[in-house]
Structure 1
Amino acid sequence: MPKKALITGVTGQDGSYLAELLLEKGYEVHGLVRRASTLNRARIDHLHSFEHGDSPRLILHYGDLADSVSLVKLLYSLQPDEIYNLAAQSHVRVSFDIPEYTSDITGVGAGRILEAIIESGIGKKVRYYQASSSEMFGKVQAVPQTETTPFYPRSPYGCAKVFAHWLTVNYRESYGLFACSGILFNHESPRRGESFVTRKISLAAARIKKGLQKELYLGSLDAKRDWGYAKEYVEGMWRMLQQDKPDDYVLATNETHTIEDFLEAAFGHADLDWRDYVKFDSRYLRPAEVDLLIGDYSKARRELGWEPQTRMHGLARLMVDADLATLTRSQG
């Protein structure tokens, strides 16, 4: 029998790459999706090719992190071997506009899944992954940041992630759950949502190159981030759940670059000077900014055998090339 995994947030960037990876490894993959008036499954449409005999190995279930009863029923019926909780309201700037919703889904939602694990009786067999975030470090207390660096979140999103992180630790210690948190620094890809700054930049560079756009509006260009490739980071998630003991791990590149650096790399790859096109818009500023993030992934390298292969400049080129190729196809 193949291993059975449940992914919340399966239609997102990380969820789609993780589903791809697990299917390649022979898993039966189940994804939790919210019922909405419009379908948002573009990132996983291609996974229908991963079929075994007459039955697909990617099976979607309607549910919601706001509905604890549906979670208990789903876990009881599925009896998964692994659960990856990737679902969240994950946009940091937007979390200031909808703090209550962000707290409920990103923070309390993790608690609902952990409690559903206990209530459904699968606590002894299941392995749980919690998507923690470098935004928990916020106003950083040490450089670089490790698994033991104190948290100082600077947004409702960061606060919700801290709550979910410590709740995961609490359930691990209270109930003996095999529960891990991956403290992932910024990880991007061509599947990144278009409202996130790296994808806004890569898509704008491609559209300007094609004559489809004239300007790009951004907020602060000085914030420093540790950027890696999402497709590589989901491999680290999987490796955490294959260990003998549960623990928490930082996944990062141990390099930091400003948003201006990313602009330079992306627009430069398209033979453009970003200064000719980028305009400042105060609406994109956060009430409290995170100025510097840089992660030390030495524990993951030592214990998981994981390390990043793609750095910022390669990532920017990869994303611009993908957006250029998509635009070329759409133009016929």
Structure 2
Amino acid sequence: MTTALVTGITGQDGTILARRLVAEGIQVHGLAREARDRDEWALDGVPEVQVHVGDLTDAERIRDLVREVEPDEIYNLGGISSVAFSWEHPVLTGAVTGLGAVGLYDAAWRLQQDRGLPVRLVQASSAEMFGLPEVAPQDETTAIRPVSPYGAAKAYAHQMAAVYRARGLHVATCILYNHESPLRPTAFVTRKITAAAARIAHDGAGTLALGNLDARRDWGWAPDYVDALVRALRHDEADDFVVATGHAHSVAQFVEAAFRRAGIEDWRQHVVVDPAFVRPADPTEMVGDAGRARRVLGWAPTVPFDEIVGRMVEHDMSILRGTHEIR
């Protein structure tokens, strides 16, 4: 039986991935940072998964866990997930998202050396590595010039993947652009928007405070992006792959789509711009060219922008109506 280890399993992508791998008959182990995270996730997660408690900054713990589990597949989805948080905690972000990934690569490489069997790993890289790109769309050849602690940490982990690839470890990377689903926490701007749209429609009043409404992002459907991670890990040759839709929308367009789905036409009367939510450096246009993933992996996005927003709004409205089903 194939065994997989998923870091960051309690997050959006980790939960989606765990469900998929279990459905495939794979024995899945996950890593959660705290027992509380593990226990909360178990309520709405996948009971077949064995979740271990550990921190990516603890290289010895990670090495012991990899040796214990002996995974055939490793999916590194763990790390600091918020750009805003990374500005407040840049050292922690570097330790977890950057050095933590390298510790995992090294543990996988050592396991491969010890048992003489291949270990496949995929790193969830991020378009934030590109910083303020001079070209659009961006692809795998675009210069890596991060402008945030989060982007810098992801860049280090991404480049170290190539170093370990040269050592003989099958480590692929997926350069993920923004991808959403109802599993996003409300700390993320997209879910903050859809939850607010649902609440305002339900209550008949209310406001939503946001930062830069002009920032443009390439938003996709999270299960599609998890599919790309699996395809990249299992492809014969490890490589780097941009995973994106190729279409950019502004935050204002996301808000408009969310409020329209909730039945509110004039969204502007409910939205205020708060400077506290504006990042110190915020790329204005991020859009990816996933041509290599299409050609090599046979991957393509399946859910258009308006439908992604709509599904998230419907989820949040069902919670307010009391009709939401945990699944």
CA drift at 1:119: 3.3
Cα deviation digits, residues 172-194 of structure 1 (max 9, x gap)? 11x11100000010001100111
For residue 162 of structure 1, what is the aligned residue in structure 2?
Answer: 155
1:203-242 maps to which residues of 2 (within 5 A)? 203-211=195-203, 214-242=206-234
Provide the C-alpha distance between the structure 1 equivalents of 2:295 and 2:289, rounded to a whole number of angstroms: 12
| TM-score of the pair, normalised by structure 2 | 0.94
Give secondary structure in 1 for the equivalent of 2:28.
strand
Alignment of 1:129 with 2:133, yes or no, is: no
Cα deviation digits, residues 146-198 of structure 1 (max 9, x gap)? 1111112110000000000000111111x111000000100011001111111
Provide the C-alpha distance between the structure 1 equivalents of 2:278 and 2:319, rounded to a whole number of angstroms: 30
Question: Could you tell me whether the CA contact under 8 Å between 1:252 and 1:295 is conserved in 2?
Answer: yes
Q: Which runs of 5+ in 2 are unaligned?
A: none
Cα deviation digits, residues 215-263 of structure 1 (max 9, x gap)? 1110010000000000111011001111111111011000000000101
Q: 1:198 aligns with which of 182, 190, 198?
A: 190
CA drift at 1:331: 9.8
For residue 63 of structure 1, what is the aligned residue in structure 2?
Answer: 54
CA drift at 1:38: 6.3
Cα deviation digits, residues 74-133 of structure 1 (max 9, x gap)? 111111000000001110111111101111101111011112123333684110010100
Provide the C-alpha distance between the structure 1 equivalents of 2:224 and 2:251, rounded to a whole number of angstroms: 21
1:93-104 maps to which residues of 2 (within 5 A)? 93-104=84-95
Provide the C-alpha distance between the structure 2 equivalents of 1:292 and 1:45, rounded to a whole number of angstroms: 35
Provide the C-alpha distance between the structure 2 equivalents of 1:45 and 1:38, rounded to a whole number of angstroms: 11
For residue 51 of structure 1, what is the aligned residue in structure 2?
Answer: none
Q: 1:315 aligns with which of 286, 305, 308?
A: 308
- Name the CA shift for 1:46/1:95 in 2 (closer, same or farther; >3 Å): closer
Provide the C-alpha distance between the structure 2 equivalents of 1:214 and 1:201, rounded to a whole number of angstroms: 12
Question: Could you tell me whether the CA contact under 8 Å between 2:7 and 2:32 is conserved in 1?
Answer: yes
Question: Could you tell me whether the CA contact under 8 Å between 2:38 and 2:51 is conserved in 1?
Answer: no
For residue 52 of structure 1, what is the aligned residue in structure 2?
Answer: none
CA drift at 1:324: 0.7
- Name the CA shift for 1:205/1:42 in 2 (closer, same or farther; >3 Å): farther
Give secondary structure in 1 for the equivalent of 2:121.
strand
Give secondary structure in 2 for the equivalent of 1:241.
helix
Alignment of 1:76 with 2:46, yes or no, is: no
Alignment of 1:6 with 2:5, yes or no, is: yes
Give secondary structure in 2 for the equivalent of 1:31.
strand
- Name the CA shift for 1:182/1:38 in 2 (closer, same or farther; >3 Å): closer
Give secondary structure in 2 for the equivalent of 1:176.
coil
Give the aligned CA root-mean-square deviation in angstroms. 1.8
- Name the CA shift for 1:317/1:169 in 2 (closer, same or farther; >3 Å): same
| TM-score of the pair, normalised by structure 1 | 0.93
**What is the number of equivalent residue pairs in this alignment?**
322
Paired residue type of 2:100: G
For residue 18 of structure 2, what is the aligned residue in structure 1?
Answer: 19
CA drift at 1:45: 2.4
Sequence identity percentage:
43
Give secondary structure in 2 for the equivalent of 1:249.
strand
- Name the CA shift for 1:225/1:144 in 2 (closer, same or farther; >3 Å): same
- Name the CA shift for 1:114/1:123 in 2 (closer, same or farther; >3 Å): farther
Question: Could you tell me whether the CA contact under 8 Å between 1:215 and 1:279 is conserved in 2?
Answer: yes
Q: Which runs of 5+ in 1 are unaligned?
A: 49-55
